[in-house]
Amino acid sequence: MPILNILRYPDPRLHKVAKPVTVFDERLKKLAADMAETMYDAPGVGLAASQVDVHEQLVVIDTSESNNELRVFINPEIIWESPERKIYDEGCLSVPGIYDGVERPAEVKVRAFNLDGQPFELHADGLLAVCIQHEMDHLKGKVFVEYLSPLKRNRIKTKLLKEEREQLKKAQR
């Protein structure tokens, strides 16, 4: 299974809204498997299809220490969120090396489909709840840095663009 290319912020494709999955087939299963391998290789705990330039509502998550609890969410929707909110330090595979506090509901209940097209519901708290909300934001075309102040967001954008230019220069040598 190939490691997929992860789009980096501020790539405009990260702001594209994902479309619902309508066909549950082998192509979808292969995409989910490739995304999981890419996420583990990065390494990360979640990856949305939007981050690999496939604009379909598919998310893979594994918050376990041993990387053996892969969860796949297709067409996820939050059907309940707790009134209690918490601030978690978030990072993102599309925004490498950047971590910052984002306030989100402490618990959520999500409804989604599995790879066989079967619906399920899941109540999540802690890191899993944060990860679900973070990855679902990607499906809506939103990156976590958009929760930060414009000043922080611009500094991050400048830093990542500078790193990209330096990598291009190295590659050209």
Strand bridging mode 71-81 / 85-92: unpaired
CB 85 within 8 A of CB 106: yes
**Is 123 one of the annotated binding-site residues?**
no
Q: Which amino acid is at 73?
A: F
Q: Within 13 Å, how many C-alpha atoms sit on residue 148's CB side?
A: 19
How many CB atoms are closer than 10 A to CB 23?
A: 8
For tokens 């989100």, the residue is 104
Decide if 26 is catalytic. no
Burial of 125 (0-12, 13-18, 19+ CB in 10 A): middle
From 90, 135, 146, 166, the catalytic residue: 135
**Is 134 one of the annotated binding-site residues?**
yes
Q: Within 13 Å, how many C-alpha atoms sit on residue 21's CB side?
A: 31
Residues of each annotated binding site for Fe cation: 92, 134, 138
Q: Which residues are catalytic?
A: 135
Residues of each annotated binding site: 92, 134, 138
